[in-house]
Amino acid sequence: MVGVYAAFGMVLAAIPPMITEVRTDLDMGRGAMGLALGAWTAIYIVTASPAGRIVDRLGIKTALTLGGLSLVASSLLRSFAVGPISLWLTIAIMGIGGPLVSASAPTLCGQWFVADNERELAMSTYNLGPGIGSLLTLFATNSILLPWLGDWRTVLRFEAGVALAATLIWFVVAQRAPEQPAKRPERSTVSMVETSKALLASADVRHVLILGALTFFVGHSLNNWLIDAVTERASVTATAASNWVSIVGVAGMGLLFLLPRLTNRFGRPALLIAAWAAVITGILMVGFGSGAVAIGGIIPTALRSVMIPLILITLMEADGVDESNIGAANGLWFSCAQVGAVAGPFLVGVLADSSAGFTGAMTMLAIVAGVAALKINRHQPAATLQSR
């Protein structure tokens, strides 16, 4: 599972390190590129919720295999893009099968790990996957892959091969895994619409859905534009900026194991608010700083890595979510969260191309992050962000 999710992170991070080369080759502005980079998330909005139900019905083995194959297709086909429209369409393919990956991983954690400490460790472990894939891609693209393979199109084809290998390994390993967890949830006969309505009736679930959209707005914007922003604000090469983001990202992966363990001591709301405060600080350093200050701003943004696992654990504990609908709940969450993932990169690209530049774009991200932190602070019903 971690290998397929690493391929997910690799495909997701494939273009940002090469964004200048791709924009130049396809004659695209930052706004158009931001729109293309968000193509898969636009499709995700429609497909994520059904994907959760598909995971519940087909099982994790089959669903995750199909999701991995969609990553292969997206990476391979986008290497043949000839303009903004074809790039958008090929990136959008990731939004068709990608939700099966996103929904399968937390569903496995929720079904197979019952104790709080085991579940939090499992959530942190599987979230290493996209982090590993993204960081290796950011580090290797400009330093190794582009010089070795020659151009961005060949790099994408090579990465499609890596994604295919990861998917095949999962398929083989999954055949030896137990068919179902020891505690098997009953198959739900309730329709997807009725399941979604029941979930949305919970105030806790609605809160987590909104928080997901705000988190993805900021997180996906930074994933896609942080390298370009640091390159411009710090006056360094794209390779140097990619390396700095990669190094800091490794620290962020370490935080996945450190911070969730502190929930019993400080509470989940406090940890999330502290993480948002750090991310806001880093965003403002990149947006308003220059040289070493802009580079230093990368460091606090690493704390965004802990937000998604903490929020997904909150979703699993929300009123109205149980073992019978946990896949549907995860699918609904990703569907709503991707609204932010679509809007964020596009708006950052538009603002960065305007007179406001990356200073204006980072200011917008800081404001959205501040809204998320305030929402966490104000929402305190019994079943929401409190550790159990």
> Which residue ranges make up each domain of the chain?
2-176+191-378
User: The tokens of 139 are what?
Assistant: 């580090």
CA distance 236 to 295: 9
CA distance 293 to 290: 5
Tell me, what's the pLDDT at 99?
Answer: 82
101 band by pLDDT with thresholds 50, 70 and 90: confident
Rounded mean pLDDT of 281-304?
A: 93
* pLDDT of 233 above 60: yes
Note whether 72 and 112 are within 8 A (CB). Answer: no
pLDDT digits (tens, 9 = 90+) for 350-383: 999 898 999 999 999 999 999 999 888 765 544 4
pLDDT digits (tens, 9 = 90+) for 165-188: 999 998 888 777 655 544 444 545
- Angle, helices 84-92/60-78, rounded to nearest 10 degrees: 170
pLDDT digits (tens, 9 = 90+) for 197-226: 878 787 888 888 899 999 999 998 998 889
Tell me, what's the pLDDT at 317?
Answer: 76
What CATH code is assigned to 2-176+191-378?
Answer: 1.20.1250.20
Q: Name every residue whose Cβ is closer than 8 Å to that of residue 183 and which is 6 or more positions away in sequence.
A: 111, 114, 323
22 band by pLDDT with thresholds 50, 70 and 90: very high
* pLDDT of 58 above 90: no
pLDDT digits (tens, 9 = 90+) for 140-167: 898 899 999 999 999 999 999 999 999 9
Note whether 384 and 208 are within 8 A (CB). Answer: yes
User: The tokens of 283 are what?
Assistant: 């965003």
Average pLDDT of every residue of the chain: 82
CA distance 11 to 369: 26
* pLDDT of 277 above 80: yes
Tell me, what's the pLDDT at 117?
Answer: 59
Strands (E), the chain: none
CA distance 149 to 158: 9
CA distance 53 to 221: 28
Rounded mean pLDDT of 273-295?
A: 93
Q: How far is CA 219 from the centre of its chain?
A: 7
User: The tokens of 239 are what?
Assistant: 């390779």
CA distance 268 to 265: 9
Instruction: Mark 79-116 as b/e (b = at least 16 C-beta within 10 Å).
Output: bebeebeebbebbbbbbbbbbbbbbbbbbbbbbbbeee
Rounded mean pLDDT of 84-99?
A: 91
Tell me, what's the pLDDT at 112?
Answer: 64
234 band by pLDDT with thresholds 50, 70 and 90: very high
338 band by pLDDT with thresholds 50, 70 and 90: confident
Tell me, what's the pLDDT at 124?
Answer: 63
Tell me, what's the pLDDT at 114?
Answer: 59
From the CA atom positions of the chain, what is the Rg in Å?
20
- Dihedral of CA 159/164/169/170: which sign? positive
Q: 105 vs 5, which has greater pLDDT?
A: 5
Tell me, what's the pLDDT at 182?
Answer: 44
Say what percent of the chain tops pLDDT 90. Answer: 33
Tell me, what's the pLDDT at 269?
Answer: 82
* pLDDT of 88 above 70: yes
Tell me, what's the pLDDT at 93?
Answer: 93
* pLDDT of 57 above 80: no
